[in-house]
Structure 1
Amino acid sequence: MPWFLYLIECADGSLYTGIATDVEARFVAHASGKGARYTRARKPVRVMASFELAGRSEALRAEYRVKRLTAQQKRALIAGDFSIGSLLPQTEASDEE
């Protein structure tokens, strides 16, 4: 089952990063106040981007790395200036090719 990393823009202009199997349903949860504490305190406005990943563990690794980016770097990721794959470590299989 694919997992997704998503970035939500909040009313104060900040970006929230999370993971889910259904981004639309997760956004609805955030918007209704049932999401993360961060989005309960700042009204979620829209999903800015979502990236499909192979599974939960890859999504968690991507989330960890994206959350450490600056807001400017996150906006560059959203704009497509670099890929989500460039943030993830290369797998052993990739190293052997």
Structure 2
Amino acid sequence: MYYVYILKCCDNTLYTGYTNDIQKRLKTHNNGKGAKYTRSRLPVELIYFEKYDFKNDAMKREYQIKQLSRYQKLELINTIQ
């Protein structure tokens, strides 16, 4: 199983990524060992994720989400709440 996720950083910015272990990846981010972008914006909070069976599908979706504006990402997140 693969996941595409959106994190909310402590400065209210959003970070999008993909992983095959979402809990481990969230822990890695919050330990300062994740993406360079999140290291200076700790702590981060998982606010959205999607599941995929194939890595390639998750990577494509990650790219699509990264192309969205902040407003569009927030709309996407609000569809599940």
Give the TM-score, by structure 2 length: 0.93
The 5-angstrom pairing of residues 1-97 of structure 1 reads 2-80=1-79
Q: Relative contact order: is structure 1 or structure 2 higher (C-alpha 8 Å, sep ≥ 6)? A: 2
Q: Secondary structure at the match of 1:44?
A: coil
Cα distance in 2 for partners of 1:5, 1:38 equals 17
- Could you list the structure 1 runs, at least 4 aligned residues long, displaced by more than 6 angstroms after superposition: none
* 8 A Cα contact 1:8 1:44, kept in partner: no
Give the aligned CA root-mean-square deviation in angstroms.
1.2
* Residues 64 and 74 of structure 1, relative CA distance in 2, 3 Å threshold: same
**8 Å CA contact retained: 1:4, 1:50:** yes
User: Structure 2 CA distance, aligned partners of 1:45 and 1:36?
Assistant: 11
Identical counterparts, % of pairs: 36
Give deviations 1:49-85, integer Å, cap 9, x for gaps: 110012110000001110010111111111117xxxx
Aligned residues: 80
Q: Which amino acid aligns with 2:24?
A: A
TM-score by length of 1: 0.78
* Bigger Rg over Cα: 1
